[in-house]
Amino acid sequence: MYLGHFGLTELPFSITPDTQFVYSAASHQEALNTLLLAVRGGEGFVKITGEVGTGKTLLCRRFLATLGDECVAAYIPNPQQDARSLLLDVAEELGVADGDDRNNVHIARRINRCLMELADRGKIAVLCIDEAQTMPVETLEALRLISNLETEKRKLIQIVLFGQPELDGRLALPSVRQLRQRIVFHYRMPGLKRSEVGSYVDHRLRVAGYHGGHLFSALARRALYRHSEGMPRLVNILAHKAMLAAYGEGSEEVCRRHVRAAARDTEGARKGGWSLLGGFA
């Protein structure tokens, strides 16, 4: 690999969500602030949506890491399951002891007792569900059972749904309108701005141990934005492949031609064309 060639200690553009590499883009910070505000306000339901590769899972992990000791968090990474299985997973995440599992109502009661105990101790229960667009309608209805749990002052559990835009379509169904009406906060995650891509790349390179000047030329950065349209995951894939191309040539700088070659080899990347700013991207 190119680590030694560019003076790196680790790969800078892995697509695995790693909070060590978090870049606080304006939208990412705004989404995190929305989550913290909603949870501490006891609003009940929050929805975060975004296209594939906008950093929803990374935001979820950063949010969970930001929660203080006053919160007890449950995390469901794969909610594509039936209602009973989801309720059992929530119970397990919250540390609810085994008990009566005859039906969903009994499981919900066990969860309710746990949440009441947490509330008595001054704790806030937070349930984060990633890839929420994959949830069957019946499973979404089970979430409403949990969200019904409340005191006179606040909800006993704060539920955060992270999903692709298809989640909006799922929630638009008449059968889940009661759940949809309980979503108080919603944030749609955009991609990186053109002005942020260069800083994003530099940040990840520094975290990975790079100490030189700009490794990506100005034209290469512009090409990264154009071919990725600001989607962080695509930026990572293109930057990684472009560095491989530069390494293969023995070049110490990543140029536009390396990014263009990476784009031709990447599914989902925008292909070349004439730019309004002048020149062929």
**Residues 33-63: tens digit of each pLDDT:** 999 988 888 777 899 999 998 999 999 999 9
Asked if the model's pLDDT at residue 227 lies above 60, the reply is yes
Return the exposure string of 237-276: e unless at least 16 CB atoms fall within 10 Å of the residue's CB, then b. Answer: bbbbbbbbbbbeeeeeebbbbbbbbbbeebeebeeeeeee
pLDDT reported for residue 228: 95
Residue 279 confidence class, pLDDT cut points 50, 70, 90: very low
Residue 152 confidence class, pLDDT cut points 50, 70, 90: low
pLDDT reported for residue 109: 84
**Residues 72-97: tens digit of each pLDDT:** 999 999 999 999 999 999 999 998 87
pLDDT reported for residue 100: 63
Mean pLDDT (the chain) is 89
Give the architecture (CATH level 2) of 3-18+192-264: Orthogonal Bundle (1.10)
CB 179 within 8 A of CB 132: no
CATH topology of domain 26-189: Rossmann fold (3.40.50)
Residue spans of the domains in the chain: they are: 3-18+192-264, 26-189
Residue range 215-219: mean pLDDT, rounded: 97
